[in-house]
Amino acid sequence: MVNESRTFGAAVLLALAGLGTLLYGVSLDNGMSVNMVMAAGGATLLTAIVVHTAGIMLLEPEHSEA
């Protein structure tokens, strides 16, 4: 349970950092063109999605007897 919390917590922190970086990059030139800060924020968001997906894939399936 602790590993899942760390994985999903890391994904949330990465997503927030990526969104913050992306929004900062947009504010630099009012979104008129793509700059390196925006690209770095997008890459961080993509990394957060990969971490979250990997965390879901590593979850143990729950067996229920019905």
User: pTM of the predicted model, to two decimals?
Assistant: 0.81
CA 31, 34, 36, 38 dihedral sign is: positive
- The answer to whether the CB of 28 falls within 8 A of the CB of 37 is yes
- Per-domain residue ranges of the chain: 2-57
pLDDT digits (tens, 9 = 90+) for 15-63: 999 999 999 999 999 889 989 999 999 999 999 999 999 998 888 777 6
Higher pLDDT, 35 or 4: 35
CA atoms within a 13 Å half-sphere pointing along the CA-CB vector of 3: 7
pLDDT digits (tens, 9 = 90+) for 5-18: 888 999 999 999 99
